[in-house]
Chains A and B, each alone.
Chain A
Amino acid sequence: MNATVNRHWRSFKWAAWLGWQIESNWTEPWLFAIYSVIKPVAGAFILVLMYVVFTVIGNVQDLARFNFVYVGNAFFIFVGNTLFGTFQVIQADREWYQTLRYTYISPISYYTYIVGRAATKVAVAAFAVLITIAFGVAFLGIKIDLSAWELPAFFAAMALGAFTLVGIGVSLAALSFLTARHVRGLAEGVPGVFYLFCGVLFPLTVLPDWGQSIGKAIPLTYWFHLIRQITMPADYFAAVPTGLTTDPLEIMALLAVSATGFFLLSIGLFRLMEYLARRAGKLDMTTNY
């Protein structure tokens, strides 16, 4: 038992260490620090542009709406980076560094290793969200209302979101054990689907019925909803109706169930795909595009 815990901890710790080395691979640490701030801010400028277009065309000079879009996009950074950070571990190790075979035959848990490698990306993405929000508050009139007693709920929501996303990411990564090409498209497509159908840019009610059904079937829709509910001022939040339940506990419960579901799915898929890849001799293939 203790040996198992040890093994997972070892796997996570050194994978996270490696992930951090790769992420912060800058000759000058201060350059990395500046980059970490500049990148999200640059992203925010694109949002400003979007809003200008938005208001010119739609004539909606509505602060609440801008808040809605801005917060949604800021937290989408977290979604995209967590997903992609998890998904690309196998491909990078197999094709680029060619270390997968050696890591795989070492006495670690490869599943936990993937999660460890993704952890840095999750942390960096969370930081980027923070910077984006701070920039919005400072320069674009974004209003955030997050009081101390809401913090536990906020962190719980972030954790549940991260679990769900890592679960989806590992599932995609597991598929890439067997094929590289097709999964890459999938990994780029999935965040796109989330962007469209999870109420990131506009409330779900804007979508046609079938689109709303898709959105309501994806747990992240509720996650964005909950995050907005926790972070936006109550009147702003109420000003953009989304047609979703506003009971935070209900949403939390739903997210907890979906996070568990994706976790179990990812373990199952990982085991299956690992077995199939080891059987097919694909654990150390390189595709040589």
Chain B
Amino acid sequence: MDLAVETQQLTRVFTQRRKIFRRRRNGENGESEGPVTALDHVDLQIRDGELFGLLGPNGAGKTTLIKILATLLLPTSGIAKVAGHDVTKDPLPIRLKINMVSGGESSGYGLLTTRENVWMFSQFYGVSSKTAKARIDKLLHTFGLWEKRNAKVRNLSSGQRQKMNMIRGFVTDPDILFLDEPTLGLDVNASRVIRDYVKSWVKTTAGKTVLLTTHYMMEADELCDRLAIIDHGKILAVDTPENLKRRLKKETTFRLEVDPLKDTSRFKTIPGVKNFSLKSDGGASLEKLTFILEDEAAVSDIVSEVVRQGSKIHHLQKTEPTLEDVFISMVGRSLE
């Protein structure tokens, strides 16, 4: 089987001159000085026709990986190949086959219309006029932007601009599409439409590959054939969502709702606790704890620790593992 993307020992280090400047000015403290390793010897293989997801907390290196694969950024060391070509030595044949869309940003020429904007980019790729026109019309309808086809981009809302950028990504009919948080900041409906479209595009057209990053577990679970969990620039696991969840079946997931706790550091030291995460619903009086246990017997120790701190347990439940639990188990904290 052919590989759409392949990396070997891919590493990217950022030297942080800008941050040092900022610190001097503001007298900021706490952040580590010196270079940041955004990608740390990453080995990854994405097959042709896969819908592949990258899941990881803020700063994990997801965007960095996408930028390198999209020929926007050079690796510090290691190899990255897209459609069989090396991103460093041979970017042009890659560029003919890829496109990229990042959510949560509002790029575009404000003085062009929605249609003109997308049209111009299609022409950069040499798409024939007839094909481009047909595709744009269809995509404008699909993404609910038909009414705004002749509106100036500067008059679009940020969500509408994001939809326009999705159209820009699909209009060139790339073989490999990089989507960096495509549904960030979109309403439920729009997110739904985008997910459905991405999925059907990969599944119904031969030879289309998507690499997608997201912070939404549901999205990753629902869309992706395979997922990589990434943290601190390292790939922690690569598998199908099903298999990732199955791995956890050996472990037990418990959810607790308790009064706010003074100190959660002790939980980690209880034998049998693999990992746990804490969510306080901002301002609400309850805290939600999720425990991944290697040994169910640890529950009694957890309960007595909560009681020892004078807190009360409102809810205790053993659950089927979700993708989020997989994440907590590996990364040691939840995504949100």
Contacts and interface: CB of A to CB of B under 8 A. Distances in A.
A163 B67 CA distance: 34
A17 B70 contact: no
23 contacts: A7-B126, A13-B123, A18-B112, A21-B112, A22-B109, A22-B111, A97-B107, A97-B110, A98-B105, A101-B100, A104-B72, A105-B98, A106-B121, A106-B124, A106-B172, A107-B124, A107-B126, A108-B124, A278-B71, A278-B72, A279-B74, A281-B14, A281-B67
Contact of B95 (A13, A106, A278, A283): A106
Contacts of A106: 95, 121, 124-125, 172
B120 A17 contact: yes
Contact of A10 (B14, B67, B108, B123): B123
Contacts of B115: none
A284 B110 CA distance: 18
Given A10-B126, A281-B14, A281-B73, A107 B96 contact: yes
B92 interface: yes
A108 B14 CA distance: 28
A265 B120 CA distance: 30
Contacts of A275: 74
Nearest to A4: B92
B123 A14 contact: yes
Interface of A: 6-7, 10-11, 13-14, 17-18, 21-22, 25, 97-99, 101-108, 275, 278-279, 281, 283-284
A105 B70 contact: yes
A107 B95 contact: yes
Interface residues of B, number: 30
B106 interface: yes
B226 interface: no
A42 B249 CA distance: 79
Contacts of A11: 124
A98 B104 CA distance: 12
B116 interface: yes
Given A10-B124, A21-B116, A105 B109 contact: no
Contacts of A108: 124
Q: Which 3 A-B pairs have the closest CB atoms?
A: A98-B107, A106-B124, A107-B95
